[in-house]
Structure 1
Amino acid sequence: MKQLHDLRALPLVSIAAMMAAVPALAQTNTSSLDHEVVLSDLDAPWDMAFLPDGTMFFTEKCHGLSVRLPDGTVNALLGVGDTAGYATNGEDLFCEGQAGMMGVAVDPDFADNRRIYVYSTSNMSDPHTNRLMRFEVNGDLTDVSGRTDLVDDVPYKMEATDQPFGGPGAHNGGRVAFGPEGHLFLTTGDNHNAEVPQSPTMMGSKVLRLDTDGNAAEGNAPPEGFDPRTYTYGHRNVQGLAFHPGTGTPITAEHGPWHSDEITVLENGGNGGWDPRPNMAGRGDCPDGYCGYEPNQMEGMNRYERRAYMPMTDFETYPDAMPPIWTNNGWSQGISGAAFLEGEAWGDWEGAMVVSYLGIGFGGTPVGERIDVVELDEGEISVFDVTEMTLPMESQRFRALATGPDGSLYVSSEEGMIHKLTPTD
């Protein structure tokens, strides 16, 4: 069933009714999958990036950056803090809560410049920050050098205050990826700080679009007064980012607050509409000034009423906010990675988007550890159908998705594994 692209024209009651009528998942699968565990016994593998020959760089949240060569050899390159066994250590890098070493991306010109980009939490300053760093990888892929901090001002949640949720290190975003035009994208999170999402200068809750030196990419068009690195703002916690194979358009997958994980087609300069400040749209006081989970504390509300009270995309306050093209039927289940399937072997799913879930049971929702195939209409990007993959392995807390140069789908899990899924006839 096709979902409407522009939700702004609908009242909240109509949106709720529409979502109630739309099934979250279709029940059929159109592909058989071979399964291989590529790596195991890892420490919360967070992200993956490939060279054309199948060489795979990957990050582990509390350990660091490593590389797996095509013959299966693994070299540990950059350690978090004093983690043993790494060729180089970032003494200022650390992990805490949801924070640590997160996204990784390979430069499109890696063959010439040997550059790789890593997003990690750092205690180099006080308060601590999240940083996007650039390194050069040596010729035999055994070490990195030449650290350059391209972005050093992404906020970090230092302490658990009197909020009844979350701890230090919450909501960092963390995905790093190159778009088809060569721009470097970085997603960031709100840190449970109500002021961050709509702030023009705090670099949380944003999608940044940069050149490879960390400067604002030419053509960024944020509102007047915003940091020029801003491509979009008003996000909650984007951990999925992929680019439409036909148009190159960036599309995000974003965690919802007790409800409404969202998939959104980004618009240059656009507002994601997340604003968890108190006294917005009739809200009262909230724990520690952050209303992001307030509906869950209000007895008697169903998930549609909660969504109306604390919308993920607040069209009442921001009528021109970017409309999501899909909202997970009112559930929040920790949507995480995003990628597009490539190659004829995927059959009808070739060119479809895939998103993964950590499977968070917020607000009494069922645990949703799974991978969904999101089929998009041709032309204007909207959701045509969503199908849950029938997986040849046990469901896990899936963190990241990446399409390898062989056309297989690589999946990392919080249980310490990187899986390889390959379509078969």
Structure 2
Amino acid sequence: MAVRIRGGLGLLMAAALLLLAACGAGSGSPAGALRTVTLNSGLQRPWGMVFLPDGRLLVTQKAGTMVILSRDGKTVETTLTGLPAVASAGQGGLLDVALDPDFATTPWVYWTYSEPGRGAETGLAGTAVARGLLENGALRDIRVIYRQQPKVAGAGHFGSRLVFRPDKTLFVTLGERQKFTPAQDLATSLGKVIRINRDGSVPTGNPAIPGARPEIWSYGHRNPQGAALRPGTDELWISEHGPQGGDEINRIVPGGNYGWPRVSYGCNYGDPVGAACRLGGGRHAPDYVEPVSYWVPVSIAPCGMIFYTGGGFPQWRGQIFVGALAGKALWRVQLAGGREVGRERLLANLGERIRDVSQGPDGWIYLLTDSGKLIQVRD
């Protein structure tokens, strides 16, 4: 198990003892003990997934369609078409998907996508959030409820993940579209986490950040492509891509500034990788929010993220699982309070770019890969 612990000697010893005690209780498991089952290998560049109440799986595909898979994941039962057009070049396309908290009575489905510009915005694009009612195997009453501002040129860093809070408001993570400085510009929604209502309006209780758009919850983000609520709380945690190194896991605090592009543990592209080239010196505090975890010197490109709560791996409850694209693995991150005390690289033997991670109703972990696979992870 690969473990990295930061802090002074006392903290290091305490964390090490905690980790040893936890491992003795069964919190660790060699990667070889995990069993993977490829349920489907015919998906077309899948990006996001969510389990329906009946156990079937709703999956987005980058080119612009959603599919509903059978309960065993092996068969495409329905292909949902008629969605808004996507800008599918580069990192763009149909992205994340989530179900309304009241889906059982009002079956709204929400999704993010890279929306192409029209008219004066032709050639530009931005992340958008849409929703539609899923009824009789089709989506109807489709409407865009939020558009990232402004649309810009380029095909990278759209984000984006959707997470509902217990109060039924919606978090959306938005990339800075490879434009760097707008992540610090509070008049834009590039490089931000926003919080909106289910109809796209702005809820009460968002942080009062001077000069900021009212939907902004936090800022200074690069390309957050993983997000989850910590169990038992309304805390949003995200994973986001760094440049060369500096990928982060962050606990999001209302109004927090996470430093990009002024500071990063990573290095600009083209610079030799090493501590000397870290943007702004690397360390975020006290001016910016320090990441809970980061990867150096090589980026793993984190994508998809859960806090595990199931019964399949009881020794791992409360821990973070995050997929890796460039790193081609599944990472397990162990926490003590708000600190990382250990982490482990799993399933590197698969050689797969892991795009999304989800926990199934059966307690197992499910992965989507860029090669088009749905993989179940079990003991």
Normalised by the length of structure 2, the TM-score is 0.85
Residue 399 (1) aligns with residue 358 (2): no
Q: 1:28 to 1:260 in 2, by over 3 A?
A: farther
Task: Tell me what 2:144 maps to.
Answer: 149
Give distance in 2, aligned partners of 1:293 and 1:351.
Answer: 28
- Aligned match for 1:100, one of 93, 109, 123: 93
- Aligned match for 1:271, one of 253, 257, 271: 257
Q: 1:155 to 1:331 in 2, by over 3 A?
A: farther
Q: Residue type matched to 1:102 in 2?
A: L
Residue 209 (1) aligns with residue 180 (2): no
Give distance in 2, aligned partners of 1:403 and 1:421.
Answer: 10
Give distance in 2, aligned partners of 1:133 and 1:63.
Answer: 13
Task: Tell me what 1:23 maps to.
Answer: none
Give distance in 2, aligned partners of 1:310 and 1:44.
Answer: 37
Residue 415 (1) aligns with residue 371 (2): yes
Task: Tell me what 1:249 maps to.
Answer: 235
Q: 1:28 to 1:119 in 2, by over 3 A?
A: same
Q: 1:294 to 1:348 in 2, by over 3 A?
A: closer
Q: Residue type matched to 2:202 in 1?
A: A
The within-5 A match list for 1:10-409 is 29=30, 32-70=33-71, 72-78=74-80, 86=81, 88-90=82-84, 92-125=85-118, 126=121, 127-138=124-135, 140=136, 142-158=137-153, 168-275=154-261, 295-298=268-271, 301-309=272-280, 311=282, 314-315=284-285, 319-359=286-326, 368-377=327-336, 380-390=337-347, 394-409=350-365
Name the SS for the 2:334 alignment partner.
strand
Give distance in 1, aligned partners of 2:7 and 2:108.
Answer: 38
Higher relative contact order (CA 8 A, sep 6+): 1
Q: Is the 8 A contact 1:5 1:324 kept in 2?
A: no
Q: 1:322 to 1:31 in 2, by over 3 A?
A: farther
Name the SS for the 1:327 alignment partner.
strand
- Residue identity (%): 27
Give distance in 1, aligned partners of 2:100 and 2:288.
Answer: 32
Give distance in 2, aligned partners of 1:346 and 1:223.
Answer: 41
Shift of 1:275: 2.4
Q: Which runs of 5+ in 2 are unaligned?
A: 9-26
Shift of 1:42: 1.7
Task: Tell me what 2:18 maps to.
Answer: none
Q: Is the 8 A contact 1:102 1:120 kept in 2?
A: yes
Task: Tell me what 1:81 maps to.
Answer: none
Give distance in 2, aligned partners of 1:201 and 1:39.
Answer: 43
Number of matched pairs:
354
Normalised by the length of structure 1, the TM-score is 0.77
Q: Which runs of 5+ in 1 are unaligned?
A: 7-25, 79-85, 159-167, 282-290, 360-367
| Aligned alpha-carbon RMSD (Å) | 2.7
Q: Residue type matched to 2:168 in 1?
A: G
Q: Is the 8 A contact 2:236 2:252 kept in 1?
A: yes
Shift of 1:395: 2.2
Q: Is the 8 A contact 2:56 2:70 kept in 1?
A: yes
* 106-115 vs 61-70, greater mean Cα deviation: 61-70
Q: Residue type matched to 1:401 in 2?
A: V
Q: Residue type matched to 1:136 in 2?
A: L
